[in-house]
């Protein structure tokens, strides 16, 4: 039996397999910008260069505070 899935905040947030755009507030300077939830590159803050998202096995690991989700 495959398909046992660990329920995470992410799975609750994004039940669909496709990507989503997420608005994230930079933890350092507070700048808000849109990220793709399945970003394959490191995403840095446009203002201060703080890393906001890092790819981690398919889904991007979001570092900042999520302030909105756009599908
Ligand atoms: Zn910043």
- Catalogue all structural domains in the chain, each as residue range(s) with its CATH number: 17-70 (2.20.25.100)
Q: Ligand 1 centroid to 31 CA: how many Å?
A: 5
pLDDT band for position 3 (50/70/90)? low
Q: Ligand 1 centroid to 64 CA: how many Å?
A: 9
Q: Ligand 1 centroid to 45 CA: how many Å?
A: 5
Q: Is the pLDDT of residue 1 over 80?
A: no
SS3 state of residue 4: coil
Each residue of 54-68: b (16+ CB within 10 Å) or e?
A: eeeeebbebbbeeee
pTM for the model stands at 0.63
User: Got the DSSP string for 12-62?
Assistant: HH--SSS--EEEEE-TTT--EEEEETT-SS-EE-TTT--EEEEEETTEEEE
Q: Ligand 1 centroid to 69 CA: how many Å?
A: 19
What confidence tens digit (pLDDT) does each residue in 16-63 have?
A: 556 788 999 999 999 999 988 877 889 999 999 999 998 877 677 888
pLDDT for 70 equals 82
pLDDT for 13 equals 62
Q: Which residue has the higher pLDDT, 2 or 44?
A: 44
């Amino acid at each position: 039996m495959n398909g046992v899935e660990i329920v995470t905040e992410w799975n609750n947030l994004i039940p669909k397999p496709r990507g989503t755009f997420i608005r994230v507030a930079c933890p350092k300077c507070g700048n808000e910008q849109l990220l793709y939830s399945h970003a394959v590159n490191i995403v840095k803050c446009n203002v201060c260069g703080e890393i906001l998202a890092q790819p981690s096995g398919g889904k991007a690991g979001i570092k900042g505070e999520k302030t909105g989700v756009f599908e």
